[in-house]
Structure 1
Amino acid sequence: MPSSAGTHGPGQEKAPAALRAAGLVDRLEAAGIPVTDHGDLPVEPFRADRERRNRQNVDRVAAVVRSVSVALRPLLDAPALPVLIGGDCTITLGAMAALVDKWPDAGLLYFDGDLDLSTPDSTVSGVLDTMVLAHLLGEGTPELEAPVLAVDRIEAFGHDPRELGPASRERLARHGLRTTACTEVTEANARELAARAWTRLGSGQVLLHFDVDVVDSVDFPLANFPHFNECLPERVAMDCLAEFCSSPGLAALVVTEVNPDRDPDGVLVDRLVGHLVNALT
């Protein structure tokens, strides 16, 4: 899903090619997992949008969301786990639409360094990938046709509470969104808290959204939006990812926020591929 249309700069559209070049498919197959590579959707690079400053590139983002949903729907009928490589966080809106179309009570585990509860009237940047959970809770801009989830079908995990502005804090409290902040998670309790968060979603099908900015950027500076000395240490984050990927009801995995421009020698992308292979096996 090579799109950076929903974010604040270029780079994320290069992630699918970078992970493929780093051997994601080959290394999964070497680990005993057969893989079908369905290729890429069209590239949608970032461009600043002077016409819609509070909802940047909303027409292009809406088109990407629709194309993700259309591409994913038939894959949900196959006896396989879809793994969607982004791209910015807005692709999760399309993935969630496909899941809800097949399983109306589908849930979401939002493993992300941010809660993405901004809306066009509460943001200065107008960047749509800061608004993903707000749209799934029924707020946002009507041009993005996102499903509205019951709040008990969402778990947010790993965000840094210091990043929340007043409007997002108000929205978090008003909806009663369940969260596990990064400040609660340690190496000793990471897997236990991850399993508990997943269990609260019940027995239905669940989409796992994994934004690499949930990892402290001092440890792993690959995310498009860095969090230096914030969020989770790399080892702790990847323990949580492995716990989520081994959980019952996992229906699809979305990987977002990878910006290869922040990794000119490819070391971090290579490490990420290793983490994904480990989690999926």
Structure 2
Amino acid sequence: MTTLGILGVPSSAAAHWPGQERAPAALRAAGLVELLERSGNDLHDHGDRPVRRWTARPAADGGPNNLDGVLEVLDDTRAAVTQILADDHTPVVVGGECTLTIAVVSAFAAAGHEVGLVYVDGGQDLQTPADHPDEPIADGMGVAHLLDLPGTAPALSGFGPRRPLLTADQVCFFGYADDEEDVHGRVPSWRFPVASVAPDPQAAARLALDAVTSVTTRFIVHLDVDVVNFLDLPAADVPQYRGLTLAQVMSAVTVMVRHPGFAGLVLTEFNPDHGEPDGSTARRLAEALAAAFTPVR
């Protein structure tokens, strides 16, 4: 049995506005750690990193807002994940915003581990500062920087021991409902939009894993809660209403985390302010995640 290394990264530095920095504390209060342990997991709690709240610091060159703050969070997260890997634990990073996946992939690369990425997200995060100067928010640009696409911010695209950190064939987009973001046709990755996932999420997950593991045997799962229809689970920082149900998403994620190539998970974009004030939304999310990680007996 693998040991899960739980790490909280309470940051909204790269987000559209504050809120996500409260996610790790809300999920802890909802019993996430205890639920994971009760499900039969071997678990080590690596604690939470310092809280980093959103601030308005526009870049003079039109680059991402608060770039220095974003880089500080990524550097700190990479160091923490590096320790988790050194301890031979499987990282489960509870964020925080989508850019955290850059830090996690960078930590794996620096440790000499080749991994793919299954991007379970309502969008593909392929926006670049060059294409979207009117919305300079790094949160929607994570994969663009992992792939070092033209027009990205050099400090983010170069955040790792190599550049790019990933190639397009190492990435699989899963469950997205937003419009196609590869407007220049530069990213020939595997794609499973919501319409192809909804009829049979587990079958779609197996196809996605076959695609990723044909290139690299191990993979990370990026799980953005905005892949879930906001009316089914009011959790996402930026709501969308065309997504999958929580049950459909976690059915697919269960297949992913039980695969022998599973190397870690990053949970992102939960804004507790959008859920029920009694904490029941956080509890539903915590219970769903723990159920997905329940070991097969």
**Same topology, TM > 0.5:** yes
Matched position secondary structure for 2:44: coil
Q: Tell me, which stretches of 5 or more residues in structure 2 are unaligned?
A: 1-8
Instruction: Report how far residue 128 of structure 1 moved.
Output: 0.1
The structure with the greater share of residues assigned to helix is 1
**Cα deviation digits, residues 94-123 of structure 1 (max 9, x gap):** 001011122453111111001001111111
Are 1:269 and 2:282 counterparts? yes
Other-structure match for 2:148: 138
Other-structure match for 1:158: 175
Which residues of 2 match residues 88-103 of structure 1 at below 5 A? 88-103=97-112
Which residues of 2 match residues 1-281 of structure 1 at below 5 A? 1-52=9-60, 53-123=62-132, 124-139=134-149, 140-144=152-156, 145-147=158-160, 148=164, 149-162=166-179, 164=180, 168-171=181-184, 173-187=185-199, 189-202=200-213, 203-228=216-241, 230-263=242-275, 264-281=277-294
Structure-2 separation of matches of 1:135 and 1:241:
24
Q: Structure 2: which amino acid aligns with 1:137?
A: L
TM-align CA RMSD: 1.5
Aligned-pair identity in percent equals: 36
**Cα deviation digits, residues 64-123 of structure 1 (max 9, x gap):** 111111111121133432110000001110001011122453111111001001111111
Q: TM-score, normalised by structure 2?
A: 0.88
**Cα deviation digits, residues 139-186 of structure 1 (max 9, x gap):** 210122334212111111011143x4xxx3324x22212211112122
Q: Structure 2: which amino acid aligns with 1:86?
A: G
Structure 1 runs (4+) greater than 4 angstroms displaced: none
Instruction: Report how far residue 269 of structure 1 moved.
Output: 0.5
Structure-1 separation of matches of 2:282 and 2:248:
18
Q: TM-score, normalised by structure 1?
A: 0.93
Say whether the 8 Å CA contact 2:222–2:267 is kept in structure 1: yes
